[in-house]
């Protein structure tokens, strides 16, 4: 597989493939895999539909970017049509990194049965997507490792019966789990895995304050938001947390940073970093540490969002709004399980950035609302909104796709080396 450091394949700028991912979580909310959502391009004022003809291009894009970047070293769940199964497109990717999802439209005929048999013998896990009661793909169940049940289209009673009938033979995956209540219900029904963004909406937060264990990190974020940095204050705060001291020294002593001499103290480290890099490093380190008890997708996505907005800053007029901070803090309420109002009240952020963060959650009109919405739409694979918002911001789909891909590479590097 091509790595991030290799020269990427040539891409047609008129048909730039776009890939989004949706997390699949375990019962304890650890990220198990990612469902990849493909879209080839934008033509004639509308998004071109997903079809068999684009699968080679999108898989090639996955290979070019690297499944490690796209899925943070987790397996990729990829949908396959009948023709794709028969032509064995799955073999373009390694068996230990891919879960083959057989789409609802695929019949359980003899040719498909034989293709599933070959997949199993080659070590490729198989999931029957959007499985329903009396599903015509019933003959494929013996070859399936997972059955995915759409929680929005299958009634709870029918969903429970499917779990009872098939869970002894297959792992059960609940699809379209959009709310916390959906997760609780599917978990009680006996599902093993859950696909959706339910965990990104903080729960039971009205009376909750910032956890005491996170106070140092919040104080650090507040310290770097001041008009003038006080190095002595930052040094004192970092020294309170052994994990931060370790991360900082490890970062500066790594070959990637290229320090001329060994870094032996926090004071020396801060002097080497300089003001701009201190701000950047604290933002990243604090986010990584604060998110360690939450699903890893939250931290990874906050880094992707931050870098995505930062890279677009030269192309989008943004006044005094810190776009990197806007992207990173857009998920901080879910990471800390604290309301956004309480979160930003504890920080000396500029009023413009505060307003954008609040408006991003409430949908209020602000100058940066289109960029905030673009960030969320691109992440979720809402391609029609991506195209519309990109046009509003004078950004081509190619610009958006390339910028987001670069943000994913950067975030994966930061996350994996932390």
**Domains in the chain: boundaries:** 18-200, 202-290
Quote the pLDDT of residue 39.
67
> Can you tell me the distance from the alpha carbon of 126 to that of 375, in angstroms, rounded to the nearest whole number?
32
Question: DSSP string of 125-151?
Answer: -EEETT--TT-TTGGGGGG-SEEEEET
- State in Å, rounded, how far the first CA of the chain is from the last one: 24
pLDDT confidence of residue 370:
97
What is the structure's pLDDT at 13?
42
- pTM of the shown model: 0.77
pLDDT at 205: 44
3-class state of residue 264 by DSSP? coil
Which fold would CATH assign to domain 18-200?
A: TIM Barrel (3.20.20)
The Cα–Cα gap between 294 and 337 comes to 9
d(CA 78, CA 313): 33
CA distances (Å), 281 to each of 237, 241, 275, 336, in order?
14, 15, 10, 19
pLDDT confidence of residue 48? 42
- Per-10-residue mean pLDDT of the chain, 418 residues long, equals 36 57 94 83 44 58 78 90 90 91 93 95 96 96 97 96 96 95 96 92 51 67 79 82 68 61 70 81 77 77 92 93 87 81 69 89 92 95 92 93 92 72
């Amino acid at each position: 597989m091509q790595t991030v450091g290799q020269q990427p394949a040539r891409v047609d700028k008129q048909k730039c493939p776009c890939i989004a991912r949706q997390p699949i979580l375990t019962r304890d909310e650890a990220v198990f895999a990612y469902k990849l959502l493909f879209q080839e391009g934008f033509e004639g004022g509308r998004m071109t539909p997903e079809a068999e003809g684009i699968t080679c291009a999108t898989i090639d894009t996955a290979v070019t970017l690297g499944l490690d970047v796209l899925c943070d070293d987790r397996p990729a769940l990829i949908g396959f049509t009948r023709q794709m199964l028969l032509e064995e497109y799955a073999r373009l990717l390694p068996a230990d990194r891919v879960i083959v999802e057989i789409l609802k439209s695929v019949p359980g005929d003899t040719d498909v049965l034989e293709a599933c048999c070959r997949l199993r013998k080659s070590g490729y896990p198989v999931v029957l997507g959007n499985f329903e009661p009396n599903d015509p793909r019933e003959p494929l169940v013996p070859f399936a490792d997972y059955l995915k049940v759409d929680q929005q289209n299958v009634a709870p009673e029918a969903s429970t019966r499917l779990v009872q009938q098939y869970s002894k033979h297959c792992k059960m995956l609940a699809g379209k789990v959009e709310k916390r209540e959906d997760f609780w219900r599917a978990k009680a029904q006996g599902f093993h895995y859950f696909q959706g963004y339910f965990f990104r909406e903080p729960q039971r937060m009205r009376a909750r304050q910032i956890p005491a264990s996170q106070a140092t990190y919040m104080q650090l974020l507040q310290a770097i938001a001041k008009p003038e940095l006080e190095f002595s204050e930052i040094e004192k705060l970092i020294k309170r947390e052994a994990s931060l001291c370790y991360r900082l020294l490890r970062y500066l002593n790594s070959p990637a940073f290229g320090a001329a001499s060994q870094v032996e103290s926090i004071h020396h480290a801060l002097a080497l970093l300089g003001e701009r890099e201190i701000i950047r490093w604290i933002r990243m380190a604090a986010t990584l540490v604060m998110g360690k008890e939450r699903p890893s997708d939250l931290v990874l996505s906050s880094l992707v969002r931050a870098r995505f907005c930062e890279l677009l800053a030269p192309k989008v007029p943004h006044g005094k709004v810190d776009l990197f901070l806007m992207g990173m803090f857009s998920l901080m309420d879910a990471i800390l399980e604290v309301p956004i109002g309480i979160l930003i009240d504890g920080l000396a952020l500029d009023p413009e950035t505060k307003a954008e963060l609040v408006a991003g959650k409430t949908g209020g009109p602000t100058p940066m609302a289109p960029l905030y919405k673009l960030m969320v739409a691109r992440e979720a694979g809402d391609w029609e909104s991506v195209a519309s918002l990109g046009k509003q911001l004078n950004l081509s789909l190619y610009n958006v796709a390339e910028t987001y891909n670069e943000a994913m590479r950067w975030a994966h590097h930061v996350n994996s080396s932390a």
